[in-house]
Structure 1
Amino acid sequence: MTEKTDSSIKYAGLFRRLLAIIYDLFLLLALLFVATAFAMIFNQGDAIEPGQPLYPYYLVYLLTVSFAFFGWFWTHGGQTLGMKTWKIRLQQTDGQNISWQLALIRFFTAILSWSLLGMGFIWSLFQPQKRAWHDIASKCVMLDLRVPE
């Protein structure tokens, strides 16, 4: 297998990344519905609402489920289902799959990127490798895998 030169690498742009995120959010939402149904067992079958003693644990549980969803895909091939659909892949800057530790850094930095009005994502528009804050923090790049015509 030949090694790609830096000039032959194509980095994924913001638009493709956002499309993959939208796709993945639908999948994550379905998973969180199932996780919530399971959590309701511990609250006599009722919804867990703000103000209830279980609520903080419930939020941590949902955050953990969300991290497990993204982390597993990122550490096992670098592609969520949305990323596969839009032909983009996550990898470390040295070409390796990311570790669980880097996935955790990426996950929480991505939340920060979103919470600051998407500034972490907008940042990628001004970077030569199109890296968002969470890419930089986790030492990753997002590749565009489409074959040039």
Structure 2
Amino acid sequence: MACWLYESLLLFGVVFVGGLVLGSAGVLFGHPLSPKTLQALLFVVLGIYFAWFWSKGQTLAMKTWHIRVVDQQGRPLTRVRALARYALCWLWLLPPLGLLAPFHLPWAEVAVLTTGWVAVWALLSRFHPQRQFLHDVLAGTRLVAEPAALTPPRPQP
């Protein structure tokens, strides 16, 4: 979960730069993007970010925490599997956010529901034999710990 929080800090930069580029391009070409179009394009930008890094094995946050994502046989993910994992990762947030429109819930209640849903989703991993998240099970992926690289000892002066 610490890696997840660190990833969200990095994603702020990705979304900021993506939104800046996409928004500027829309204004530059004389057709500013609607908020829904911008959200859809940022969804694609995030998908590209995750598919790229997961197919390499790790995102920047995962490198920091020495975590690697692999398929069930321990091989690096294909881009298709990485995109499937990205789509399934939205199960962390979509169910509570889906309650926003039909029930006209205030943002405070949606925040509480989302927090509760994320906690339940995370706790479900404790019931899996390998302690994997449900989206990893459905995508055929798993997170593995990567041993930290050892640095050679410094020579004494």
SS in 1 for 2:69: strand
2-side partners of 1:44 and 1:115: how far apart? 30
Structure 1 position 112 matched with structure 2 position 100:
no
Runs of 4+ in 1 over 4 A off after TM superposition: none
| Higher-helix-fraction structure | 2
If you compute each CA radius of gyration, which structure gives the higher value, 1 or 2? Answer: 2
| Contact 2:23 2:33 (C-alpha < 8 Å) held by counterparts | no
Structure 1 position 90 matched with structure 2 position 69:
yes
Among 37, 46, 50, the residue aligned to 1:70: 50
Q: CA RMSD in A?
A: 2.1
Letter in 2 for 1:61: L
Identity value in percent: 26
Aligned length: 124
SS in 2 for 1:98: coil
Letter in 2 for 1:126: F
Alignment correspondent of 1:24: 7
Deviation at 1:43, TM superposition (A): 4.2
TM-score of the two chains, using structure 1 as the length reference:
0.74
Higher relative contact order (CA 8 A, sep 6+): 1
Q: 1:70-114 CA distances to partner (integer Å, 9 max, x unpaired)?
A: 1111001x1111111111111001111111211122112111133
